[in-house]
Amino acid sequence: MPIYCDVRVPVSEQILAFQLSTTPLLMRYLSSPTIQDELDELRAEMEELRDGWLEEDVQQVQELRRELDRANKNSRILQYRLKKAERRGLRAGGSNGTDGELLRSIEQDLKVAVCFSYHLHHSSTANLQLHV
């Protein structure tokens, strides 16, 4: 059925008339059992895909949390070592140069661990907010 545009009728009315003329055909097509079955299959596939993505995201968040816990543990260990080295340095009077080097090395390790822990915390927090 050819569609002709009548310049005397506004375009919006022509579009509405076309939609009204095709609606019964579309309704018959969508109400057929085979189309309903196909729609149900597509919905099921979409739900499976969504569930798979959610499962992957949950696993990724869990792995990030484990990494964050490890980084926090390493940070606490390094803080303990730093305090221990500081106490040892105070007892020795700070006269030994190797203790100062050890202290600087431990401080540097602590800074790296804290930065890493901070980065992991913020990336896992951002990741969690995406999934909420």
pLDDT at 48: 92
With vertex at residue 16, the alpha carbon angle to CA 12 and CA 22, rounded to the nearest 5 degrees, is 145
The answer as to whether 70 is a domain residue is yes
pLDDT at 98: 64
Residues lower than pLDDT 50 in the chain = 1-2
Nearest alpha-carbon partner for 15 in 25, 28, 6: 6
pLDDT at 1: 45
The answer as to whether 8 is a domain residue is no
DSSP 7: T
When divided into structural domains, the chain yields a total of: 1
pLDDT at 25: 78
Q: How far apart are CA 39 and CA 47, in angstroms?
A: 12
Name the residue range of residue 102's domain. Answer: 53-131
Residues 9-44 pLDDT 10s: 566 777 777 777 888 877 777 777 888 888 889 999
The answer as to whether 15 is a domain residue is no
The answer as to whether 95 is a domain residue is yes
Contact predicate 99/87, CB 8 Å = no
In terms of pTM, does the model score above 0.85? no
Contact predicate 29/35, CB 8 Å = yes
